């Protein structure tokens, strides 16, 4: 499993587990799978798929950050007011 050096910029943005899944998906898909040699060379299909996976991964991370922020926000109005008052005092 080795992508071409031309895709280094895209591969740096992805964790190893996603890179492995992309390789498996490209070489074993049901409809027109790529051979290992085709996947290792510069190929427009590989580049487009890597870009797609980078976008998906970045959206997933952004969504996780939003979810974490919302999880740790106080839900009780009284608690929010207390926090606001403490911040105002500072």
16-61 pLDDT, tens per residue? 999 999 999 999 988 889 999 988 999 999 999 999 999 999 999 8
The model carries a pTM of 0.70
Supply the pLDDT for residue 66. Answer: 73
The closest of 18, 28, 77 to 50, measured between CA atoms, is 18
Give the C-alpha separation, 83 to 74, whole Å. Answer: 9
């Amino acid at each position: 499993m080795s992508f071409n050096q031309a895709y280094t910029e895209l591969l740096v943005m992805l964790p190893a587990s996603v890179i492995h899944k992309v390789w498996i998906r490209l070489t074993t898909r049901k409809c027109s799978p790529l051979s290992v040699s085709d996947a290792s060379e510069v190929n427009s299909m590989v580049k487009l798929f890597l870009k797609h996976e980078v976008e998906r991964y970045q959206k997933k991370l952004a969504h996780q950050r939003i979810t974490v922020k919302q999880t740790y926000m106080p839900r009780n109005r009284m608690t929010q007011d207390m926090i606001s008052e403490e911040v105002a005092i500072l």
